[in-house]
């Protein structure tokens, strides 16, 4: 790092540290608040697009399978569509590494701007991909290419966005700021479920198969200009500017995180396994499960998903605020215990009843249970790593877990259901809670614990 560049950034960094460190005036405090609001909007809108595309793919997997894998049975084409969904996750660790390194070296803003452009490109590819009937084997390959673009960009999104939010947030509101990441995921599911409900209500099934399934992907692209503008015009985080000014920014963040923070990587993986399972099983996969396995109608499944995600969003803010008062690790620990003990009996009740009167209370409970854990996960995971390797550390642990335990959850669960394990989704989440509890316990013994966000 050149001395001239360092000194220039240093002056800016001293001003960026904020009123808490330097007794700044009310106008600076107002400016800091405005910067925080912009940071929340930029991170949330981009994250909303990322998750929206994943959600609508899962919700329209039946129709995607019919278009791109039409030569098998109805069950086989859905499984193949979900395998492509899962293959998009295989590349996520590569995106985590490359974008994580970029975010720790070039800055959080640069990484976030890159991820939204790549995600938009992948969404466009899927939206315009010709069907198998039009070009044969090339169709599923184009579909896969779109998913790989989405997966690569998503690999670097959460680490960059989590670091960006916790580093912009006041010390007493870090968990609430970071809760916007998972809340925006819930908002994207609400948007996706609303679009799915509208499309399936307005169009006959034949039209949805022929062209209607593409509508949600085109609608998702409408978010891109606003999200890109906000991210492109953001200020870099004060924490990262201080790191650059002090010449602490990691030159080899991947090597540093493996050599200096191996325990944090293992604990972070444990935290992320349940995060992945709760989100992908209880929120994203559930509408397909309700229709295919329990026999609920599309309207019931998507309507229930809408209720579930509304409560998930509200729960993220509720548990984020609670975490700022009593500690994020404590809230997440109790969330893991609740998921371990309640998901299986709740799904058993729903499977036995198979009625709308039971469906909506169970999905409402699932939304709050997922929020109690996932809502504070960005904070606890970010707290494990110092600023110089935060994007790389969070991206790696998050994406390895989400690739293995999130992306391939639907085909694994569908295979288990086909083998006769009707309650497979609940068992999946229950088993995922075990490493989360072990990671929370290990976190107490670590010097950096799961508590305050460390800035150096």
Q: To 10 degrees, the CA torsion angle through 147, 148, 153, 155?
A: 110
262-277 helix and 424-445 helix, angle to the nearest 10 degrees: 150
243 to each of 9, 106, 193, 438, how far by Cα in Å? 10, 11, 42, 32
Tell me the pLDDT of the chain averaged across its residues.
83
Cβ pair 223, 48 in contact under 8 A: yes
Is a pLDDT exceeding 90 seen at residue 86?
no
- Written as one string, the DSSP assignment of 19-58 is HHHH---HHHHHHHHHHHHHHHHHHHHHHHHHHHHHHHHH
- For residues 69 and 55, what is the distance between their CA atoms, to the nearest angstrom? 20
SS3 of 61, please? helix
Q: To 10 degrees, the CA torsion angle through 381, 439, 366, 214?
A: 50
- The pLDDT score that the predictor gives to residue 145 is 93
pTM, entire model: 0.79
Is a pLDDT exceeding 70 seen at residue 171?
yes
39 to each of 164, 199, 386, how far by Cα in Å? 7, 33, 20
- The pLDDT score that the predictor gives to residue 79 is 81
How many H-runs (helices) and E-runs (strands) does the chain carry?
24, 0
- Written as one string, the DSSP assignment of 398-419 is HHHHIIIIIITHHHHHHHHHHT
Cβ pair 13, 242 in contact under 8 A: yes
Which residue is associated with the tokens 């150096």?
456
- The pLDDT score that the predictor gives to residue 337 is 96
pLDDT tens-digit series, residues 53-74 = 877 887 788 899 889 988 766 6
pLDDT tens-digit series, residues 347-379 = 999 999 999 999 999 999 999 999 999 999 999
- The pLDDT score that the predictor gives to residue 19 is 36
Cβ pair 85, 410 in contact under 8 A: yes
pLDDT tens-digit series, residues 215-228 = 999 988 887 888 78
- The pLDDT score that the predictor gives to residue 249 is 57
- The pLDDT score that the predictor gives to residue 30 is 45
Cβ pair 390, 380 in contact under 8 A: no
pLDDT tens-digit series, residues 241-277 = 777 666 555 568 888 889 888 899 999 999 999 999 9
Which residue is associated with the tokens 């580093």?
167
Q: How far, rounded to the nearest angstrom, does the alpha carbon of residue 276 sit from its chain's CA centroid?
A: 8
- For residues 426 and 417, what is the distance between their CA atoms, to the nearest angstrom? 11
Q: What is the CA radius of gyration of the chain?
A: 22
- For residue 121, the tally of other CB atoms under 10 A from its CB is 16
- For residues 227 and 212, what is the distance between their CA atoms, to the nearest angstrom? 25
- For residues 317 and 300, what is the distance between their CA atoms, to the nearest angstrom? 26
Mention every residue, 6+ apart, whose C-beta is less than 8 A from residue 123.
49, 53, 146, 150, 217, 220, 221
Tokens of residue 57, six digits: 């793919």
| Highest mean predicted confidence (pLDDT) among 5-9, 168-172, 259-263, 431-435 | 431-435
- For residues 178 and 195, what is the distance between their CA atoms, to the nearest angstrom? 26
Which residue is associated with the tokens 């329209």?
60
Which residue is associated with the tokens 């008062």?
325
- For residues 388 and 378, what is the distance between their CA atoms, to the nearest angstrom? 17
Cβ pair 89, 403 in contact under 8 A: yes
- For residue 340, the tally of other CB atoms under 10 A from its CB is 18
SS3 of 225, please? helix
pLDDT tens-digit series, residues 122-136 = 999 999 999 988 999
Smallest Cα–Cα separation from 249: which of 108, 359, 80? 108
- For residues 69 and 27, what is the distance between their CA atoms, to the nearest angstrom? 59
pLDDT tens-digit series, residues 387-405 = 888 989 999 999 899 888 8
Is a pLDDT exceeding 90 seen at residue 192?
no
pLDDT tens-digit series, residues 95-131 = 888 998 888 888 888 888 888 889 889 999 999 999 9
């Amino acid at each position: 790092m050149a001395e001239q560049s360092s000194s220039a950034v240093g002056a800016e960094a001293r001003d960026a540290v904020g009123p808490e460190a330097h007794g700044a005036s009310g106008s600076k405090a107002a400016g800091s608040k405005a910067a925080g609001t912009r940071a929340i909007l930029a991170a949330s809108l981009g994250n909303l697009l990322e998750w929206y595309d994943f959600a609508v793919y899962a919700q329209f997997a039946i129709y995607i399978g019919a278009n791109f894998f039409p030569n098998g049975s109805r069950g086989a084409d859905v499984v193949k569509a979900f395998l492509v969904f899962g293959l998009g996750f295989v590349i996520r660790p590569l995106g985590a590494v490359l974008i994580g390194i970029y975010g720790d070296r070039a800055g959080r803003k640069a990484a976030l701007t890159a991820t939204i452009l790549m995600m938009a490109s992948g969404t466009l590819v899927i939206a315009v991909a010709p069907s198998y009937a039009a070009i044969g084997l090339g169709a599923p390959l184009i579909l896969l290419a779109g998913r790989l673009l989405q997966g690569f960009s998503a690999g670097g999104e959460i680490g960059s966005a989590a670091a960006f939010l916790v580093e912009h947030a006041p010390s007493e509101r870090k968990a609430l700021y970071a809760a916007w990441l998972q809340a925006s995921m819930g908002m994207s599911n609400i948007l996706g479920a609303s679009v799915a409900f509208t499309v399936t209500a307005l169009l006959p099934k034949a039209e949805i198969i022929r062209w209607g399934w593409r509508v949600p992907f085109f609608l998702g692209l409408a978010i891109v200009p606003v999200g890109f503008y906000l991210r492109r015009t953001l200020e870099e985080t004060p924490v990262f500017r201080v790191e650059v000014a002090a010449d602490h920014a990691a030159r080899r963040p991947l090597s540093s995180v493996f050599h200096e923070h191996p325990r944090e990587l293992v604990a972070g993986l444990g935290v992320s396994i349940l995060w992945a399972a709760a989100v992908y099983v209880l929120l994203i996969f559930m509408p397909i499960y309700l229709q295919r396995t329990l026999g609920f109608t599309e309207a019931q499944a998507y309507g229930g998903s809408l209720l579930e995600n509304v409560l998930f969003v509200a729960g993220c803010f509720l548990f984020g605020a609670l975490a700022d008062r009593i500690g994020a690790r404590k809230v997440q620990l109790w969330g893991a215990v609740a998921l371990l003990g309640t998901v299986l009996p709740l799904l058993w009740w729903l499977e036995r009843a198979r009625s709308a009167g039971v469906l909506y209370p169970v999905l409402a409970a699932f939304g709050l249970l997922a929020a109690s854990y996932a809502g504070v996960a960005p904070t606890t995971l970010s707290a494990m790593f110092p600023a110089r390797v935060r994007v790389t550390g969070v991206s790696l642990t998050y994406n390895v877990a989400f690739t293995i335990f999130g992306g391939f959850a639907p085909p694994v669960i569908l295979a288990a259901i086909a083998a006769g394990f009707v309650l497979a989704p609940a068992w999946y989440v229950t088993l995922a809670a075990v490493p989360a509890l072990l990671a929370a316990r290990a976190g107490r013994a670590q010097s950096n614990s799961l508590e305050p966000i460390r800035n150096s």
